[in-house]
Amino acid sequence: MSTHWYQAFDPFLSAADADAMVRLCERYGSYGMYSEEPTFAGIGQGLPARYDAVRNFIKTGGRFGRSEDLQKLAARTNYFRETYAYGREIKAPGVEPFLNHEGMIAAARTLHGRPVIEPAIVFANLLVPGQELAVHTDVPEFRGISRKTHPQWLLVAMHHSGLFDDWRMPIATGVSWFHDAHGGEFAFYPDGAEGAPVAHPVRCNTAILLDTDSVFHGVDRLAETAAPVDQLRPGMRLTFEGDGEWRMREGDQSVARYRWQDLRFSISWKAYCFRDEAERRAWTEHADDLSVERVVARLVDDMRARGRFDERPSDLVLVEMIIDEYIHYPPPAA
Ligand SMILES: [Fe+2]
């Protein structure tokens, strides 16, 4: 038994529905880079949204402790993402059966022991050859503190600190695949950061559901092909050209071509897991919200009680200390 519960699905959909997800991906057709996340005013001003994960990836060289220059590391992790559904808004028609997948909903109930499941988002990730996803936990949600208005590294530290559990909204995440990939295993740590990782292979029409806000996970490197990964730059787009072919574009210019089978395509599903209707109401009506000032003050008090300092350090020093104090990444493989 793992410390963290998860459920694997094999098969996940009917063969026809699985194929329909690939066709939907092609129809959607154009995918932008995920690297352009906002930064925020206040504590940690100007730092990347996922400063915690970036800092760890650069410091350790990822799950296998590889050392490469910064630009190449950045290109490896600048993958492509588009949103297919957000709340009730359907951005990719045809995604509805996936959004309301009964198996995912049942597994989400088991995951947190909470009966009221509200699917919140469906998004697609595409990785090209040579790309990988740095080990991380996802950005959690708290009443009053959102990834849209506050630094994501702070939300991650809040969850790992365990100090804000009363305000946390437990989320279930399902990840699904609709083709076989060469490499690009979903690597996760079901027994915690100190436990052994599991490299879950990417196989057609399978899925896994887990608490990715608590369980460290990443994507191992996708097999390299002739198209070098370091030509990727922020702002490029990946477009479907028909007949099993994809193209990397910078504006009108074609940068590289890929075949379907060289990419890694996944669809993620996230759902809020409410204890009851009253909790769902508190969430939507913003009763009992946290403020960021209250969060930082609580973390400072906790670190002072642990003897880390007497005087509150400057903001930039404090950011480093908060990340080191609360977010304990898995060590790279020896
Ligand atoms: Fe993730």
DSSP string covering 114-179, please?
A: --EEEEEEEEEEEE-TT--EEEE----EETTB-TTTS-HHHHHHHHHHTTTGGGEE-EEEEEEESS
Residue 253 has φ and ψ, to the nearest 5°, of -85, 135
Closest CA to 227 of 325, 130, 117: 130
Q: How remote is the CA of residue 217 from the centroid of ligand 1, in Å?
A: 6
Percent of the chain with pLDDT over 90: 75
Taking the centre of ligand 1 as the mean of its atom positions, its distance from the CA of residue 52, in whole angstroms, is 13
Q: Cα(331)–Cα(311) distance, rounded to whole angstroms?
A: 31
Cα 212 to ligand 1 centroid, rounded to whole Å:
6
Long-range pairs, 25-29, Cβ under 8 A, ≥24: 25/124, 25/126, 25/178, 25/240, 25/265, 25/267, 26/240, 26/242, 27/92, 27/94, 28/82, 28/84, 28/92, 28/124, 29/239, 29/240
pLDDT at residue 309, as a whole number: 96
Residue 309 CA to ligand 1 center (angstroms) comes to: 33
139 alpha carbon to ligand 1 midpoint, in Å?
A: 8
| Cα 183 to ligand 1 centroid, rounded to whole Å | 17
Distance (angstroms) between ligand 1 centre and the Cα of 56 equals 15
Q: pLDDT tier at 81 (50, 70, 90 boundaries)? A: very high
Residue 221 has pLDDT above 70, yes or no: yes
Sign of CA dihedral 65, 70, 71, 75: positive
CA distance 107 to 110: 5
Q: How far is CA 275 from CA 116, 154, 169, 209, in A?
A: 6, 25, 10, 19
Rounded to the nearest angstrom, the distance between the alpha carbon of 216 and the centre of ligand 1 is 8
116-127 and 198-200 as β-strands: parallel, antiparallel, unpaired?
Answer: unpaired
User: For residue 11, how far is its CA from the centre of ligand 1 (angstroms)?
Assistant: 22
> Can you tell me the distance from the alpha carbon of 213 to that of 192, in angstroms, rounded to the nearest whole number?
12
Q: What is the mean pLDDT of residues 225-253?
A: 91
Tell whether the model's pLDDT for residue 39 goes beyond 80. Answer: no
Q: How far apart are CA 271 and CA 99, in angstroms?
A: 9
Residue type, 215: V
pLDDT at position 72:
85
What's the CA-to-centroid distance between 187 and ligand 1, angstroms?
10
Q: How far is the CA of 294 from the centre of ligand 1 (A)?
A: 27
- Residue 2 is predicted with a pLDDT of 80
pLDDT band, very low/low/confident/very high, at 36 (cuts 50, 70, 90): low
Specify the pTM: 0.94
Distance from the alpha carbon of residue 134 to the mean position of ligand 1, in angstroms: 9
Mean pLDDT value of segment 247-266: 95
Among 28-42, 202-216, 272-286, name the one with the lowest average pLDDT: 28-42
Picking from 315, 318, 317, 327, the residue whose alpha carbon sits closest to that of residue 56 is 327
> What's the mean pLDDT when you consider all of the chain?
93
Per-residue pLDDT, 38: 63
Query: For the residues 42-60, what does the mean pLDDT come to?
Result: 86
